[in-house]
Amino acid sequence: MENRASFAAIVLAAGQGTRMKSERPKVLHELAGRPMLAFPVEAALSAGATRVVVVVGHGREEVEAAIAARFDERVTTALQSEQRGTGHAARCALPALEGFEGDVVILCGDVPLLEPEAIDALRGAREGVELSLLTCRAPDPKGYGRILRDARGAVVGIREHKDASEAERAIDEINAGVYAAPASFLRESLEALRADNAQGELYLTDVVAAAAARGGARAVTWSIESVGGVNDRAQLAEAAAILQRRIAVRHARAGVTVRDLDRAYIDAGVTIEVDAVIEPGVTLRGETHVGRGARIDVGSVLTDVTVLPGAYLKPYTVASESRVGEGAQIGPFAHLRPGSELGPEVHVGNFVETKKTSMARGAKANHLAYLGDGVIGEGVNVGAGTIFCNYDGFQKHTTVLEAGCFIGSDSQLVAPIKVGEGAYVATGTTVTRDVPADALAVGRARQENKEGYAGRLRRKLKASADAAKAKKG
């Protein structure tokens, strides 16, 4: 239920973001694995917004789809079909808030680093005035709206960079583009906006002067790191770096050893349990989960992977949509492709590729192998250079290795195929028929030793090389 203290949020996200120079709508560019727009929406929800209206326009279908995929019915969209400025955008959201009489917090879709605490502070500052807004001191205020104050220091309005005089441009207090005001005031003041400015747009910033003239406007000063707008890709990279460090610090404070806070690339959706170790240059993407005490070594890249407690992923392991069991040891240089389900104590070594393959407890493939579409039983040993020949050019087929069997090095298993419990496949065998339990499969030419032949062969080869040289002159 919405009570007096409940608030709604409007997130402006209809602009094209020309300065991004991109086919993609600006607000869908990603940081830490999420579209930029998701961050202000999440901040509003976690600060307690009962509903959020996102104003969409440019790239509307894509933006709407991204919102629907991520949020529940508290988050809806309103259309701004023509981009006539931030004030016009906010106006477009009002019909969606019809009947709502509480406070409205307005945020920009391109300000991804704002914390819910800033929204709390902004709402607190609204007490006794008509409108509160977030500002900050910027060492390089170019491009931002400047905060105008009167002789007593009260906020009287905002001047956009393009409209500002030299003296106004010298002001280093800038507008973060985040405001709180009652719905009734916004309805009135947004209706009254005029496009009499350098850009011929309806500026949302003009409502600040209207509020100042009425019940007053109060600024809450926040850190530049949190309120920086992303307008081009350099700013996107800077924001991503700040966010990445914030995420690393959050995990470190929660009991994860993050060896280098500036070189741990951890997406916002990743979860990590205590005593896990994240070494430098590790990238954890999507919904990856790292269990208690697991160690992810240098240069590993995990996308939507679950790593169970105590597993060790050695340097340069690349894995996606897979599961690594307790105490398993993977890599260095292993490649776990989607559907790899590795049980407890499994070993997968260097230059081993797995795909849609399960390995039960204690199974090992330590060197140079391709294991695709396999079901590998407990304690199986797969020798170096083994290949599961899973594809016939039309279909994929399964290789089943039952518990305790042993696959000699450099064997090929031509699927569909099954090797029974405890069976042996001799080194260098091409297995084309099922191997019964406890049997030995050997499929290679029998070895013959010709005594003294090497010397004779060497003499013969040398003579022919000499003859060729003599002929050449």
Q: Is 40 in the site for ligand UD1 (CB under 6 A)?
A: no
Residue showing the smallest CB distance to ligand UD1 in the complex: 145
Of 105 and 294, nearer to Mg ion (C-beta) is: 105
Pick from 108, 248, 363, 384: which binds ligand UD1 (CB under 6 A)? Answer: 108
The catalytically annotated residue of 29, 161, 289, 367 is 367
**DSSP one-letter code for 41:** H
Active site residue 367: yes
Burial call 97-113: b when 16+ CB within 10 Å, e when fewer: beebebbbbbbbbbbbb
Cβ-based neighbours of 245, under 8 Å, separated by 6 or more: 261, 262
Instruction: Answer yes or no: are the C-beta atoms of 348 and 365 closer than 8 Å.
Output: yes
- Partner from Mg ion, ligand UD1, none contacting 399, C-beta within 5 to 8 A by type: none
Q: Is 57 in the site for Mg ion (CB under 5 A)?
A: no
- Partner from ligand UD1, Mg ion, none contacting 29, C-beta within 5 to 8 A by type: none
Distance of alpha carbon 261 from its chain centroid, rounded?
17
Place of tokens 């240098």: 298
- Write out the binding residues for ligand UD1, residues 10-29 only, by CB under 6 A: 12-15
Q: Is 205 in the site for ligand UD1 (CB under 6 A)?
A: yes
Pick from 6, 83, 235, 350: which binds ligand UD1 (CB under 6 A)? Answer: 83
Of 182 and 229, nearer to ligand UD1 (C-beta) is: 229
How many residues line the site for ligand UD1 (CB under 6 A)? 29
Determine the interface stretch with ligand UD1 among 64-72, 114-122, 181-189, 198-206 (rule: CB under 6 A): 198-206
- Write out the binding residues for ligand UD1, residues 151-170 only, by CB under 6 A: 158, 160
- 251 exposure class (CB count in 10 Å sphere: 0-12, 13-18, 19+): buried
- Write out the binding residues for Mg ion, residues 75-114 only, by CB under 5 A: 110
CA angle 280, 277, 249 (to 5 degrees): 70
Pick from 229, 291, 293, 404: which binds Mg ion (CB under 5 A)? Answer: 229
Cβ-based neighbours of 366, under 8 Å, separated by 6 or more: 347, 348, 349, 350, 352, 384
- Partner from Mg ion, ligand UD1, none contacting 13, C-beta within 5 to 8 A by type: ligand UD1
Phi–psi pair at 350, nearest 5 degrees: -70, 140
- Partner from ligand UD1, Mg ion, none contacting 305, C-beta within 5 to 8 A by type: none
Helices (H), 214-292: 224-227, 233-253
* H or E element at residue 133: strand 131-137
* DSSP three-state, residue 314: coil
Pick from 34, 51, 88, 285: which binds ligand UD1 (CB under 6 A)? Answer: 88
Q: Which residues are tagged catalytic?
A: 367
Q: Interface with ligand UD1 by CB under 6 A: which residues? A: 12-15, 55, 80, 83-86, 88-89, 108-111, 144-145, 158, 160, 174-177, 203-205, 229, 231
